[in-house]
Structure 1
Amino acid sequence: MARYRPRLKNLLNLAESSYMMLTRLLAGVDQANNKLEFHISDRLSYRLSILEQTAYTQLVKFEQLVNEQESLASKVYVHKPSMVIRLYDDARIVEVIESQYIRQIKPRYDYPNQQMHLPDEKRQTLTFLAEWLQLCLRQGRANAYITTNN
């Protein structure tokens, strides 16, 4: 099997397009501890939370919310998608800091490995983020709830 080689151009394209979509979703929400929820349907909702705000970066948590109508087993045993994302305003790109409780995602993994990460885990994580953001932009009832925790 040929060794996976990350294509920097593809990774940067995904990071740039995700940055643009994420800044569109976060328009008007620019302070730490603010939260924005997107409701796709009665059973599917997402939350963006600004964890940290600095001069040139933002740290954002993007997570799927648990639905009240789900079974108890689903709530307890099925992990909902969750990511911690850093936005770099000067470079206009994003970096996924944490995904599904996996920190520091490498651009390439040897396969097989103990954690069973795919060779192109970083590319797949960025692709998933881009698709998630597109869903919220196209179908989400955005800006429905903006809350500030003081």
Structure 2
Amino acid sequence: MDFHKRKRYVPDLIKDMAACDANYIRIRRLFADLDEQDTRHFGLASEHCRASVTMHVLERARYTATLSIELDQLDIGLNWLIWPQFEVRVYHDLATAEVLRVGQSRKLRQVYSLPNPEHYQPDEKSQVNQLLGELLTLCLSHGMATDPISIV
């Protein structure tokens, strides 16, 4: 296949920003006390699997926070399915959240050319932000907080 004759990928910035904005809302619903607490744990259970999700604050600044979001499978039968660890930057002033890294990869770029040494798709960052949105939606619909939540 000749990659040079393919039409160049152009990111849909409106769609990408909408996904990041929705992820911010989901994160704030799941981790409402993000400004004060360092960690939030969730249990996920369905007829197909059991898992735990951990959100941990790596860094806080005045207008941003950096989170690690990790899913661990608790079912031995599903050990072939490995979810990546997400590093997410939350921008409080912009009310948006973007995935910075997945697993041990370096910081994601908005667009990748084909071919590339990492074998990333041209829209890798968009896909990763959508995947994070799916995980957060799963936590909202099927998750159970395993930490005590303080109500003021």
Shift of residue 146 of structure 1?
A: 5.5
TM-score, with length taken from structure 2: 0.83
Amino acid across the alignment from 1:63: E
The count of aligned residue pairs is: 141
- What is the aligned partner in structure 2 of residue 141 from structure 1? 144
Distance in 2 (alpha carbons) for counterparts of 1:57 and 1:136? 22
Distance in 2 (alpha carbons) for counterparts of 1:138 and 1:81? 20
The reply to whether residue 22 of structure 1 matches residue 27 of structure 2 is yes
Structure 1 runs of 4+ with >6 Å offset = none
Distance in 2 (alpha carbons) for counterparts of 1:126 and 1:108? 13
User: Is residue 83–residue 99 contact of structure 1 (8 Å, CA) maintained in 2?
Assistant: yes
User: Is residue 31–residue 50 contact of structure 1 (8 Å, CA) maintained in 2?
Assistant: no
User: Is residue 71–residue 85 contact of structure 2 (8 Å, CA) maintained in 1?
Assistant: yes
Shift of residue 66 of structure 1?
A: 4.6
**Residue 97 of structure 2 is aligned with which of 90, 94, 103?**
94
User: Is residue 35–residue 146 contact of structure 1 (8 Å, CA) maintained in 2?
Assistant: no
- What is the aligned partner in structure 2 of residue 53 from structure 1? 60
Higher strand share: 1
TM-score, with length taken from structure 1: 0.84
Q: Structure 1 unaligned segments of length 5 or more: list them.
A: none
Amino acid across the alignment from 1:28: D
Identity of aligned residues (%): 29
Q: Deviations over 1:5-56 (max 9, x none)?
A: 1011111101101001101111124236x21111112621111011112211
Higher relative contact order (CA 8 A, sep 6+): 1
Q: Cα gap change, 1:85/1:7 in structure 2, threshold over 3 Å: closer, same or farther? A: same
User: Is residue 28–residue 34 contact of structure 2 (8 Å, CA) maintained in 1?
Assistant: no
The reply to whether residue 63 of structure 1 matches residue 74 of structure 2 is no
Distance in 2 (alpha carbons) for counterparts of 1:31 and 1:103? 28
Q: Deviations over 1:43-96 (max 9, x none)?
A: 2111101111221111110001252x527xx4xx86432101010000111121
